[in-house]
Structure 1
Amino acid sequence: MKNKNLRAVDYNPCEIYVPINREMKSNIHPCFGDNAHKFARMHIPVAPKCNISCNYCSRKYDCANESRPGVTSEILSPEEALEKFKVVKSNMKSLTVVGIAGPGDALANFQEVRKSLTLIREESPETIFCLSTNGLMLPLYANELIKLGVSHVTVTINAVDKKIGAKIYKEVNYLGHKYVGEEGAEILLDNQLKGLSYLCSSGVVCKVNIVMLKGINDKHIKEVVKRVKECGAYMTNIMQMIPVPGSRFEHLPLVSNIELNEMRKECEVDIKQMYHCRQCRADAIGTLSQDRSIDFRNAGCGICESKHSVKAEKHDLEKCISKGKKYKFAISSKSGINIDQHFGHADEFYIYSYDSGTVKFLEKRDVNKYCTGIEDCDEHDDKISRIIKSIKDCDAVLVLRIGFDPKEKLETEGIRAIEMYDPIDKGILRAVQEFEEVDCQLSSVIGK
């Protein structure tokens, strides 16, 4: 097969400029530092194309309702990315980082990436640049990334053994040729490790993402961690696979949070671990605990401006809602953008108000997780009592799913539990509509 020996392109380290403060910049990067709650990041979705096919991925990325890597509600040109950055920067003083995380692979769209970063650097010299990549094209573009001032790079490396890699990657498209099986996996793995080593030796702070796949690479992860440490990686982020409809691994059993954290603990003896990853969308904006990308949807295109108090969108739901009512909601969300978490898994609730047509974020409240395992889920009344106490001023809790017992206990205390999967602002409007319909029904009954 032609180009069979093309594994990695030789580097040209001449005229490389490496700022001396890359490690210091990690302190204000929400993913790399320990101050994630203080600083905000903005992902610019300028990279739609991808050059590998992972068995846990689907290339359906245009989705407003999913919160996972590889999805976005818009693709921006470099010029649009600059305009959106200006809007976000003017409204979000804690913004320190601009990142590129897809929805495809950053280096499979390098022309757009280069232009976007160049335009934003001219506008804001102090902004930190980072990007995520599968690493296939790192040997080709490592020098250019450094010259562009990219100080932080995340490489997803799920295996360092081509036999295991062949189970994870369906196809690798390298320099115009498609490779499958162990041959494709070997090309990818060689380039990932060579590119990672070069970036680390050049002063770029590198994180390695590892998707933990039950029965595929879960017994191999320690080896991956040790190998990337040898390459100079700063930290690893061992992640749970998010099942994606249409992907080959759609029905693969998931590792539990307990298994995930046990693996992180075991690997922590070798390298720093990331525990606070939110597996962000390609258009994420805000802090890791409060994604505000919905606030800035279409910003920079002359359509909308962001405000801390966000006006609910003018869709059909509003026609059914009176403007005089006031409500307060507790939201179970793992992303901070969608109602996408089971009640029993929540260790925090986002508190929102609805007042005369305006949806407003108020605060975030920590709680003790109701379900910490199959044996614990419904046995501890003190847990649900503490949760109820923490959200007793709310009219309803909006969740992806909730068990019968906690739902009954909440409703006994006058807190409705409403199951849905929607963006937070749209979900709140739906909940308000439910309240209004119930009120209307009661009024008609009383009238009779």
Structure 2
Amino acid sequence: MSNIVSLQSITKRGEAQPQASGCSTKSSCGSSAGQGEMPEHVWNKIKDHPCYSEEAHHYFARMHVAVAPACNIQCNYCNRKYDCSNESRPGVTSERMTPEQAALKVVAVANKVPQLSVLGIAGPGDSMFDWRKTFETFRQVEKRLPDLKFCVSTNGLALPDHIDALADHNIDHVTVTINMVDPEIGTLIYPWIYHNGKRYTGLDASKILHERQMESLEALASKNILVKVNSVMIPGVNDQHLLEVNAAIKARGAFLHNVMPLISDAAHGTHFGLTGQRGPSAAELKDLQDKLAGGANLMRHCRQCRADAVGMLGEDLSQDFTMDKIDAEVEYDPEARRLYREVVERERADRQAAVAVAEDTLAATAAPARLVAVATKGGGRVNQHFGHASEFQVYEVDHDGVRFVGHRKVDNYCQGGWGDDDVLEDNLVPTLAGIEAVFVSKIGSCPKKDLAAAGITAIDAYPFEYIETAIARWYAEINGQADVALGSIA
């Protein structure tokens, strides 16, 4: 369980780190500087929610329980599979559970993963179509862990029928997947829906779905429930149309817009995968997200989690907590989570002060924006060996600051303790296209040279520093601000 850490490890430099302002038009919601200008009541809802705050995802973990297998819609990008432990995408789970089993599993995870702050139900079907199991699960868990945040993910078709029940269960975070506001485009994405006991296809299906989704957004806003809208970017189908989606959801009070890349692989058995529909490149995704700046607030740190995901974003511990490994008599001990939150609050204050200094340093530069990648295990620090990284977090830096813009999944370079040159050449280098520098806690001389040959500079001079300050120091130094950078941030 690589993400289960001691409470003190989050702040100790040189040792193992945890595995892990308001919303800006240029960055993700919940900037590295924290609350910013966000109202206190909103900040209190999102500050510990790793999906709603980019800052929180460095410190807190989420958990999904697969209790809702039934679905009322078919999407061309979805194929709900079971027992797929090596596959990481929405709709996939290794085991389905009853609400009672889910409650036991939540207690077991909370005892071992002090970072846990959120319980979500995201299928593997639809949480609001399978609403009885969803609400019973929350009722069971609330009796054991009353301080845990609850959230649901849904396609929105059945959602209008359950708005009051969501409020009654203190669920103040809802994610709705909305891929179109033009039903004609919807016909390219949804073969059918099942609504009020009847199956609809074609334009009729898309019109009903669109109307129900818009109704849901307005009803949730009236209850002061925060809404995150997920949209799947499908090149040639809805990619440019998502600009209209963004405007429509902003007008109806959505808090966040998360544009996700289509996961398309014939091996998944989806319609899009089998018909050759490609997903977007990292550059195409970023370009669209940049075009959306100024509209609804953007989420850029999504990992498109499984229906049974456990742990920090970017890592999944679900196989460590299968039901056969959980004691039926497990009792909840809140002390570890309480102590962890105290440590995080101190760490947050320290990091926010460091980020403020970094921003002051960068304001003195006048150089072009650069994209860099960071190997991190959490805590907002450069704290992972290059060869151990299964993803890199991507940041953009210029005189306005350091902004998180996404992540890129990679194959591990170190295979069985040895570097794999084929992985570097065939996977890592292509995945890091457009990246100028990679920040790591450590890297061997051979991969460092190979990256340099591909035009990527490996930076291992700032191990265990905060990500923003490390990037700011490097950027200032290469732009002739070395004295300012080293003097202000060291």
What TM-score do you get using the length of structure 1 for normalisation? 0.67
Distance in 2 (alpha carbons) for counterparts of 1:86 and 1:351: 34
Residue identity opposite 1:29 in structure 2:
H
- SS of residue in 2 equivalent to 1:143: helix
- Equivalences, count: 333
Say which SS state the counterpart of residue 222 (structure 1) adopts: helix
List per-residue Cα deviations over 1:351-373 (Å, max 9, x = no partner): 8999xxxxxxxxxxxxxx73367
Change (3 A) 1:260 1:77: same
Give the corresponding residue for 2:195: 174
The aligned residue for residue 51 of structure 1 is: 72
- The answer to whether the 8 Å contact 1:280/1:335 transfers is no
Alignment of 1:64-83 (within 5 A): 64-83=85-104
Alignment of 1:264 onto 2:289: yes
Question: Relative contact order (C-alpha < 8 Å, sep 6+): which is higher?
Answer: 2
> Corresponding residue for 2:50?
30
Instruction: Tell me the SS of whatever aligns to 1:168.
Output: coil
Which residue of structure 2 aligns with residue 154 of structure 1? 175
Q: Closer, same or farther in 2 for the Cα pair 1:41/1:373, shift >3 Å?
A: closer
Deviation of residue 196 (structure 1)?
1.3
User: 1:127-206 alignment to 2 at 5 Å?
Assistant: 127-206=148-227
- Alpha-carbon distance in 1 for matches of 2:264, 2:83: 17
Q: CA deviation at 1:333?
A: 2.4
Q: What is the distance in 2 between the residues matched to 1:235 and 1:345? A: 21
Contact 2:70 2:126 (C-alpha < 8 Å) held by counterparts? yes
SS of match in other structure, 2:271? coil
SS of the aligned residue for 1:64 comes to coil
Give the direction of change, closer, same or farther, for the CA distance of 1:195–1:272 in structure 2 (3 Å limit): same
Contact 1:62 1:73 (C-alpha < 8 Å) held by counterparts: yes
Structure 2 length as normaliser, TM-score?
A: 0.62
Q: How does 1:286-301 map to 2 (within 5 A)?
A: 286-298=311-323, 301=326
1: distance between equivalents of 2:285 and 2:212? 27
Relative to structure 1, is the Cα distance of residues 348 and 67 closer, same or farther in structure 2, using a 3 angstrom cutoff? closer
Distance 1:174 1:335 in 2: 41
Alignment-derived partner of residue 370 in structure 1: 429
- Aligned identity (percent) is 38
3-state SS of paired residue (1:46):
coil
Query: In the TM superposition, what whole-angstrom CA distance separates every residue of 1:364-412 from its partner, at most 9, and x where no partner exists?
Result: xxxxx733677x79xx9xx79x88x933399x9xxxxxxxx77x99xxx
CA deviation vs aligned residue, 1:245-297 (integer Å, no higher than 9, x gap): 32211110221111111111111211211111111111111111433222222
| Corresponding residue SS for 1:42 | strand
Unaligned runs of 5+ in 1: 1-19, 306-327, 337-343, 355-368, 397-404, 410-448
Gap regions ≥5 residues in structure 2: 1-39, 331-384, 394-406, 418-427, 455-490
The answer to whether the Cα contact below 8 Å between 1:329 and 1:353 also exists between their aligned partners in 2 is no
What is the distance in 2 between the residues matched to 1:241 and 1:112? 29
Q: Matched residues in 2 for 1:154 and 1:144: separation?
A: 16
CA RMSD of aligned residues (A): 3.5
Could you say which residue in structure 2 is the equivalent of 1:390?
442
Is contact 1:157-1:210 (8 Å) kept?
yes
User: What residue number does 1:254 align with?
Assistant: 279
Query: Does the aligned pair in 1 maintain the 2:82–2:95 contact within 8 Å?
Result: no
- Within the candidate set 314, 317, 330, 2:387 is matched to 330
Deviation readout 1:193-218 (Å, 9 max, x if unpaired): 10111102211010000000111111
Residues 38-69 of structure 1, C-alpha deviations (whole Å, 9 max, x = no match):
01111111011111000111132431110011
CA 1:345–1:28: 2 relative to 1, 3 Å: closer
Contact 2:104/2:328 (<8 A) preserved: no
* Counterpart residue number, 1:230: 251
Between structure 1 and structure 2, the one with the greater Rg is: 1
